[in-house]
Structure 1
Amino acid sequence: MTRAELLSVIQGVRFNRDRVVVSVPRTSHLLDADNPYDALSSREREVLALVGMALSNRQIGVRLRITEGTVKRHLRNIFRKLGATSRMDAANKAAAWSAPARPAIPTSPPPTTHPWRLSGRR
């Protein structure tokens, strides 16, 4: 609860002692105390993954074919939903909460010839 919200509630009690009205943000149902990462949309997750690769807003926009302003809007939403204060903070929180499955490390050795070359020919 912000200072302004608290002040509003206190003033409401002061002027109307019979009733207290408490408001809840519209997005509060999206927040999961255990894992706020789940509240992110698929596009926000895409943006966050690219932030984790240290891409700039412009580079993210080019990759996702969206404007830089749209990238900034997605980042504001991500910061709000994750309670993050910076790009790095958001990426670190998402990494801690999402723990995506890592690709398996190949156990067989790499091929000895190039795939575009036929064996025995040069």
Structure 2
Amino acid sequence: MINVLLVDDQHIVRQGIASLLNLSDEVLVLAEAESGEAALTFLAKAVPDIVLMDIRMPGMNGVETLIEMRERNIHCPTILLTSFEDTDLVQKGLAVGAVASLLKDVTIDELLRVIKTYASNGQKIRAKESPDNNFNTLTPRESQVLRLISQGLCNKEIATQLGLSTGTVKNHTSNIFSKLGVRDRIQAALKYNHHS
């Protein structure tokens, strides 16, 4: 069973995500927190397998909470949730230890897949990676998506080719941009072509 700490300032969002996650036999929402401060209080007592945290919250946001977790030597794979593509904030989050970021409109199947992936291997993205090492932080699926981006395919075409939803491709694209430190598809394609 994968134990999850769910952190979001909106009660209805926490309730919705928790209800969906608890339908799975493999995931249990161990606790919920309405703020970064409340999450840190919980993490001082128990460390779950995964933290699922909203990136934008009043008071201490997701990135600031991650920094504080690091300062307190709390090592727990953390997935950031965002309601829109906020590349700068997501990139900061990945740089300080988040393992992934997902848009809040992600499908439950994709969310469970990502939770299982990172809970099983605790894969982390280290701050200040060299550009070449950044490619090593891409998951196999992200590498496939990046290759197709470099061939000029749009999200819909990539989704069709890989048998994914367009929303899932958007999530992968957002993670790729953040991990590679780029702002758009052109920069990502140039970086990929230079790397390969």
Q: 1:60 maps to what in 2?
A: 158
Alignment of 1:34-49 (within 5 A): 34-35=131-132, 36-49=134-147
Q: 1:102 maps to what in 2?
A: none
1:25 lines up with 2:94 in the alignment? no
1:50 lines up with 2:115 in the alignment? no
Compare the two structures and name the one with the higher strand fraction: 2
For residue 66 of structure 1, report the CA deviation from its aligned partner: 0.2
Q: 2:23 maps to what in 1?
A: none
- CA RMSD across the alignment: 2.7
- Indicate the SS of the match to 1:88: helix
Give the AA of the match of 2:147: A
For residue 26 of structure 1, report the CA deviation from its aligned partner: 3.0
Equivalenced residues, count: 82
Could you report, residue by residue, the CA deviation over 1:56-87 in whole angstroms, capped at 9, with x for unpaired residues? 11110000000000000000000000001000
Question: Does structure 2 retain, via aligned residues, the 8 Å contact 1:84–1:90?
Answer: yes
> In structure 1, which of residues 72, 76, 83 is the aligned counterpart of residue 181 of structure 2?
83
- Indicate the SS of the match to 2:143: helix
Q: Which runs of 4+ in 1 moved over 6 A?
A: none
Distance of aligned partners of 1:88 and 1:71 in 2 relative to their CA distance in 1, 3 Å threshold:
same
Give the AA of the match of 1:49: R
- Indicate the SS of the match to 1:26: coil
CA distance, structure 2, for counterparts of residue 86 and residue 68 of structure 1: 17
Distance of aligned partners of 1:56 and 1:40 in 2 relative to their CA distance in 1, 3 Å threshold:
same
> In structure 2, which of residues 163, 171, 194 is the aligned counterpart of residue 73 of structure 1?
171
For residue 29 of structure 1, report the CA deviation from its aligned partner: 2.3
| Structure with larger RCO (C-alpha < 8 A, sep 6+) | 1
